[in-house]
Amino acid sequence: MKRYIYVIVSLFFFVGSSWAQRSISGTITDVDGEPLIGANVIVKGTTIGTATDFDGTYELSIPDDAETLVVSYTGYTTKEVTVGSSNTIDILLTEGLTLSEAVVTALGLEREEKSLGYGFTQVSSDEITEARNASPLSSLAGKVAGLQVSTNPQAGGSTEIVLRGYGSATGANTALIIVDGVPVNNGGNVSVTTFNNANDDFNRSQDFGNQGNDINPDDIESISVLKGAAATALYGNRAANGAILITTKSGSRNQKLAINYTGSFALSNVNRLPHLQNTYGQGWSGLFDPIENGSWGPKADGKERLWGNTVNNSRLLKPFNIIEDNLRDFYETGTNYTNSVSVTGGSENASFRMSYSNTQEDGVVPSDNDTYKRNTFSLKGDMGNETLNVGASIDYVNKRQQALATGQGDDAGGGKVIFQELIQIPRDHQIVDYRNYNDPFFNIDNFYTPYAQNPYFGLNEQGGEFEENRLRASTWVNLNITPELKLTARGGADVSGGNIFDFGNSARITPGSPNSTANDVVGRVTEAQINRRQLNTDVLLTYTKDLTSRINLDLSGGFNANERYSKFTSTYITDLTIPGFYNLSNTSQPPTSDNTISLRRLYGVFGIANFSFDNWLYASVTARNDWSSTLPKDNNSFFYPAVTLSAVLSDLLELDQATFSLIKLRASYAQAGNDAPTYRVNPVYTAGDARAGGFGSIGIPIGGINAFEVGDLLGNEKLQPEITTELEFGADIRLFRERVNIDVAYYNRKTTDQIIQVPLDPTTGFTNQTTNLGEVENKGIELLLGLVPVRTADFSWDLTFNYNKNENNVVSLGETDQTQLVLNSNFNIEMRAEVGKPLGAIYAPASAKTTDGSIIVNPSNGLPQAADDLEYRGSINPDFTMGFGTGLSYKNFRLSANADYRKGGVMYSYTARLNYFVGNAWNTQYNDREPFIIPGSVVDNGDGTYSENQTAIDRSNIFTYWGSNSPTHEQNHIIPRTFFKLREVVFTYEIPQEWSSKVHLNNTSISFFGRNLVIWTPEDNHFVDPEGSTFGTGLSSQMGEFSTIPTNASYGMSLKFGL
């Protein structure tokens, strides 16, 4: 052991001794000799650097073997300077646009930013990682105009990214994710219930996250968000909803071996719990009842009362006091540990980067049933010369997750859902007292009420486990055939295999016990496998030629092939013979199995022509044609073009760059396609099944003979692709050496030939058919504003603001008389696609009203009469969204923060529904629960006239009004989506290089961060975080939540250093 310690220590000092330092200094000026304040000086290939002071001077300790300095300043051309032997290096910078630098666009093509005829937003590595969010997709929230994020708050839960609104009624709306030019899988890992029936998203289910969050954030160099069809058309039909381009970090040529480490630790607490009434306790109809699960009892008076069931001739006794934090006390402090290390290096003709990261998160629910563990390994390298360059990368991810069920409990299967059980506990009960669920007073036989189950039983006797191994690999070749002609070939594979183990113990109540009237839970065990594979190949030939001294031509053409395969296999049993034995053999009933296989291919050819005139006028024409295997064989080809224009007026007019850094106008027109789901052209066969009367059925096989029948889905040999057509205009204005930056865009996007599954008359022999119906329009404006009010050598202050207003409208539902389509529904609430309304219109039961809006009531009891039809309550779409960011830097200190605000939109909340039902909701205190007359209500006289209502709702109907069979009861379950969130606050101290070099370190910093520290919602939503979802991803998930877990606030610290 001593020998190993000696070797490690010796190696440490050897590495340290190789980092011998020397000090250099100098002055950075412009062509007029004026000092440049705050210019950056960095040793190339490292993170060692500094900034100039008020006099434009700098001083920097650098390694003896440093060869090149990279000097940059906003509004000036970046310059590389050879270090040499002198310790004094003065540098002259010339004015120039940072927009002359190349940016990565579709298919990995590099273009000057000022030449782009469409808007895009680039998010840097620091912005992604500074708050140490384990999800790279969630870290985009509030930073990009027109980008909406929805998340599941459980550890490792799903994140959905939607750009410029929802355009497809039943198809994909999520942006395509591209990593280093190769599309990757972003499949959602949901429960077996949802895999077997995508429309069943309300019953007991788990969310095991989506694959887009598998990427290690510390491996990301930048994320470019392409929102318009013109920006994404080259990626084909999958990018019709935008694209997220992730560029990962690489090694550098001529770079010495470097090691970088980042570690962080964070704590989490619930930050949004229902804001409940704190006046009334256990009981019903205003009277105390020791076995009720609601808070419809009397006011808490502090007197001691017996409660619960009689057990062995004993009762429980406690003061009748409100426990205001009984929900919050149930949850514990969650933890998150992340460690990431990378090794980079390079020679004259090669470079590499290797990294490993480990993330371990334990959520806020007591026990280990909400944990997330992710290990990633990445290796990326390239080699070559100016003529030929080849490279490859490989990423391995192992992910293990335990997730709690949400949705509706299942007594005929896995059991109750703990979040349902928690929110119906009376306000005077201390939930943590139930912790010992085997205690005679708290077990399933004797728990205080037969109407609910001890939440600690579900917490300890249920579980959902998921493990996935994933391998992403890509390789590329860049060949410069001539100075004008370049060939690029790229191939990639994304292969994953996952396993689900879901179990719920049986809970059979002893006959004759106090709770024997309650349902038994029979128990369930499920095992499933999910296998996915994606293969992608691109070949691209590019020709660049200066036709004249003022005209440049850039031509590209290529080919793309993409294959996606998935296989899902599941088996489950119910009615466990032996409690607590979670094995598929533990039942007397036959197991139920399901197997689904999907294979699809897409081939595409594309071309791009880029023109530039006099370095101020740029035009681009692109075209792509795809052939999809999911469309009819004789009609599976679809073509879509794009045209963009960019005019840099500041260059044309030769404006003073010190004032007008950039004045650019842009315009684009583009189309993008979206093909159909698999197996919709022809009917498919399914296992035979026959009705046996009532709810019964006869399953196949019978007597050892198997049989199949044509499924209920009628094929459609005339199916066409969805086509999205978008027109965009924009301007990019940068003033005062880019200290004022304004980017504004207007877009109008229409998606036609919506691919929708519609019901058929069962007499046809089928129940559904997938067809093309309708048109959805999204139009809006986006604004991005950046300001640098102060910038000196020691202090700077920057501000960012983004704004998006999107108007969504269902223009038609095809050439039929149909004007609406139900997309999702639950408890009489519907989410619809309806002509003339935004996509995702929410309808709910309502009170009958007169033409002037007065509520019509029943004259016998004063309760509202129900309207004949459901009432439009709003849509899932926001009126507008805004994001704010700021950063203050003083010497080695930096404080940054960002926040966002969403106005408008509504959602369904089961949490609201159940809290109203049990009397825990804040509003149920109205009028001190005394009889009241609904303000402004009227009575129908039966002759077309109305008279003022004089009938009060009495005490016995207070519950009916708020929590039971009343249209008001249903309306209250629709809550606003409006919110304000303080997303991130980060304080960083960069340790001076002269200090860290003494312990042989560089680029050392320590940060303290907080995430989701503040959330505000309007008073009509005192229940949940509007961003939280329990339905995975997709348009239907936006209907709302069903007994969701609360969202969390996190705070912690991180450490970075290099060797």
Q: What is the chain's mean pLDDT, rounded?
A: 88
What pLDDT, on the 0 to 100 scale, is given for residue 12? 35
Q: What is the mean pLDDT of residues 928-954?
A: 94
At 6, is the pLDDT very low, low, confident or very high (cuts 50, 70, 90)? Answer: very low
Residue 3 has pLDDT above 50, yes or no: no
Give the pairing of strands 91-92 and 21-29.
Answer: parallel
The SS3 call for residue 451 is coil
Tens-place pLDDT, residues 502-514: 999 999 999 999 9
Q: What is the mean pLDDT of residues 965-993?
A: 89
Q: What is the mean pLDDT of residues 267-287?
A: 94
Catalogue the E-assigned strands of 254-387. Answer: 258-270, 304-311, 314-319, 334-346, 350-362, 371-384
What's the rounded Cα separation, in Å, for the pair 400 and 377?
Answer: 15
To the nearest whole percent, how much of the chain has pLDDT over 90?
57
Catalogue the E-assigned strands of 188-297. Answer: 188-190, 207-210, 220-226, 243-248, 258-270
Q: What angle do CA 896, 124, 479 make, to 5 degrees?
A: 170
Q: Which residue is listed with tokens 């205001």? A: 324
At 55, is the pLDDT very low, low, confident or very high (cuts 50, 70, 90)? Answer: confident
Q: What is the mean pLDDT of residues 982-993?
A: 93
What pLDDT, on the 0 to 100 scale, is given for residue 146? 84
Tens-place pLDDT, residues 521-560: 999 999 999 999 999 999 999 999 999 999 999 999 999 9
What pLDDT, on the 0 to 100 scale, is given for residue 200? 57
At 690, is the pLDDT very low, low, confident or very high (cuts 50, 70, 90)? Answer: low
What pLDDT, on the 0 to 100 scale, is given for residue 13? 35
Tens-place pLDDT, residues 700-717: 677 778 877 787 788 888
Residue 169 has pLDDT above 80, yes or no: no
| H-helix segments, 320-414 | 326-330
Structure tokens at 88: 């004094």
At 609, is the pLDDT very low, low, confident or very high (cuts 50, 70, 90)? Answer: very high
Lowest mean pLDDT among 73-77, 257-261, 425-429, 940-944: 73-77
Residue 383 has pLDDT above 80, yes or no: yes
At 1032, is the pLDDT very low, low, confident or very high (cuts 50, 70, 90)? Answer: low
What pLDDT, on the 0 to 100 scale, is given for residue 17? 38
At 5, is the pLDDT very low, low, confident or very high (cuts 50, 70, 90)? Answer: very low
What's the rounded Cα separation, in Å, for the pair 296 and 288?
Answer: 8
What's the rounded Cα separation, in Å, for the pair 663 and 1050?
Answer: 41
What pLDDT, on the 0 to 100 scale, is given for residue 538? 94
Give me the long-range contacts of 370-373 (CB less than 8 A, separation at least 24): 370/154, 370/155, 370/402, 370/403, 370/404, 370/1045, 371/155, 371/400, 371/401, 371/402, 372/134, 372/155, 372/156, 372/209, 372/399, 372/400, 372/401, 372/402, 373/399, 373/400, 373/401
Q: What is the mean pLDDT of residues 373-387?
A: 94
Q: What is the mean pLDDT of residues 132-144?
A: 86
At 694, is the pLDDT very low, low, confident or very high (cuts 50, 70, 90)? Answer: very low
Sign of the CA dihedral running 449, 452, 455, 457: positive
At 102, is the pLDDT very low, low, confident or very high (cuts 50, 70, 90)? Answer: low
At 16, is the pLDDT very low, low, confident or very high (cuts 50, 70, 90)? Answer: very low
Structural domains in the chain, CATH included, are 2-96 (2.60.40.1120), 129-252+368-506+525-681+716-840+876-909+978-1058 (2.40.170.20)
Tens-place pLDDT, residues 820-876: 888 888 888 999 989 999 999 999 999 999 999 999 999 999 999 999 999 999 999
What pLDDT, on the 0 to 100 scale, is given for residue 970? 83
The full length of the chain comes to 1059
What pLDDT, on the 0 to 100 scale, is given for residue 691? 57
Q: What is the mean pLDDT of residues 720-732?
A: 91
What's the rounded Cα separation, in Å, for the pair 916 and 832?
Answer: 25
What's the rounded Cα separation, in Å, for the pair 873 and 865?
Answer: 18
**What's at 163, amino acid-wise?**
L
Lowest mean pLDDT among 330-344, 397-411, 1007-1021: 397-411
Of 596, 534, 598, whose CA–CA distance to 568 is shortest?
A: 596
Contact 806, 779 (CB under 8 A): yes
At 21, is the pLDDT very low, low, confident or very high (cuts 50, 70, 90)? Answer: low
What's the rounded Cα separation, in Å, for the pair 648 and 618?
Answer: 8
What's the rounded Cα separation, in Å, for the pair 957 and 924?
Answer: 12
